[in-house]
Structure 1
C-alpha cells in the first residue's frame, strides 16, 4: 500500500462467501508469499469491506483460505483503528466477558448477543512482512476476536448459546441467502 493512500482505493470488490460455504468452516492456511498478490488481496479485502459497510473482513469471506484480515473499526471511546494482519495469532483475550450485538458480512442482516472479552491482542505481520502487534478494547477487541475466529473456521453463530442460538438458527433458515444446514 502506498503511503498516504486510502486502503482499498485500488482494490476490487469481491463477492462475499455466505454461511454454508465450506471455506468458512476450514482453518485457513498460513501466508508464505508476501508478494504483490498478497498486497492485491489486502486492497480487495478493504474495498469489499467498505462496499459491504463492515468493520472487519477475513480472507475466507471472499473465498481465499489464507490467514489475512482487514479492519476499520472504532473502539468504545470512538477511536478509529484501521489496518490489516497477516498470519494473525490471538495472543491475549482477557478482561471482562461482555455479551454484545455481533453481526457478520457472511450472515447478512442478522446479529445476536455474543460473548467476547473486552480486551484482545493480536500479533502477526503486515503485507510487506513487518511484525505488527494490535491492541483492542471494547468493540474493537470484539472485532479482532471475530476475525481471528474466521481464520480458524469459526463464525460468531458458533459462540451464541441458548435461546439466542435457537433464534439465530431460525433467522438463518429463513434468510434469502441461506443454504440448508448452514448453522
Structure 2
C-alpha cells in the first residue's frame, strides 16, 4: 500500500524516533515503505517520513541503475564513521524540489536487525553510506536543511518557497 510522505516542515520530521519492535505490523510497514519509496521514486525512506515514529528505514541504492536490492534496517546503530568526508548533492522525498550539498562520511559500519530478526553488521561505502546517513538523520529528527549553513539553507529553499 502506498503511504503518504510527510512534507517539511511537518513537526514529526523534527522528532527523534523510538525503538522499533519487530512484529507483523512492522513487517507490513516495511513492505509498504518499500512500495512507497519505489513509487516516489526514491532510494531511501525512513519511518518518520510516513508518520511512523519508529527506528526503521528502507533503502535501495541500486534499483535505478540495475536490479533492485532492497534493504530493511530496524533499529540501526552506527558502529563507526569514516573520518574521510565528501560533499555531495542530496535530495529528500520530504522536501521535494530541494537538492543541497551536504558533507557526509564516505563510509560507515552499521548494525541493525533484519526482517527475519537476525542482527546484521555491514560496512557501507560511497552512495550507500550517504543514503544510510541521510535516513539515520531522519530517525534522529534531523532533515537535510538542518545540515546546512543559514545562507545555504536560504539558497536551497529560495526556489521552493518562491
Q: Which runs of 5+ in 2 are unaligned?
A: none
Matched, 1:25 2:18: no
Could you say which residue in structure 2 is the equivalent of 1:160?
148
Matched, 1:87 2:81: no
Could you say which residue in structure 2 is the equivalent of 1:123?
111
TM norm structure 1: 0.81
Whole-angstrom distance in 1 between the partners of 2:81 and 2:70: 20
Trace 1:1-183 onto structure 2 (pairs within 5 A).
12-32=1-21, 34-74=22-62, 81-161=69-149, 163-174=151-162
Q: Which runs of 5+ in 1 are unaligned?
A: 1-11, 175-183
Give CA-to-partner distance per residue, 1:38-94, whole Å, 9 cap, x none: 1100100100000001000000111100000001014xxx89753111011122221
Report the CA distance between 1:172 and its aligned residue. 4.1
Equivalenced residue count is 159
Runs of 4+ in structure 1 over 3 Å off: 78-81
TM norm structure 2: 0.91
CA root-mean-square deviation: 1.8
